[in-house]
Structure 1
Amino acid sequence: MARRKLTHEGTLVLDSEGLSKLLDDDETVVALVMEARTRGMEVVISALTVIEAVHARTNKARLNWVLSGLRVVPVGDEEARAASALLMETGLHGHKYAIDAAVAEAALRQQRPVVMLTSDVDDMSRLCGARVRLVPV
Structure 2
Amino acid sequence: MARRKLNHEGTLVLDSEGLSKLLADHSGVAAMVEQARARGMEVVISALTIIEAVHERSNQARLGWLLSGLRIAPVGDEEAKAASALLLAAGLHGHKYAIDAVVAELALRQQRPVVVLTSDIDDLTKLCGGRVRLVPV
DSSP-derived class of the 2:87 partner: helix
1:94 offset after TM fit, Å?
2.7
CA contact (8 A) 1:12 1:36 kept: yes
Q: Deviations over 1:19-63 (max 9, x none)?
A: 000000000000000000000000000110000000011111000
CA distance in 1, matches of 2:58, 2:31: 21
Match of 1:77 in 2: 77
- Aligned residue type for 2:14: L
TM-score, with structure 1 as normaliser: 0.93
- Aligned residue type for 1:71: R
Give the alignment of 1:1-137 within 5 angstroms: 9-137=9-137
Q: Deviations over 1:90-127 (max 9, x none)?
A: 01013210000001000001001100000110001111
Aligned sequence identity (%):
78
Runs of 4+ residues over 2 Å off in structure 1: none
Q: Deviations over 1:58-106 (max 9, x none)?
A: 1110000000000001000000000000000001013210000001000
**Structure 2 residues not aligned, in runs of 5+:** 1-8
- Aligned residue type for 2:73: V
Match of 2:4 in 1: none
CA distance in 1, matches of 2:84, 2:49: 17
CA distance in 2, matches of 1:105, 1:13: 11
- Superposed CA RMSD in Å reads 0.6
TM-score, with structure 2 as normaliser: 0.93
**Structure 1 residues not aligned, in runs of 5+:** 1-8
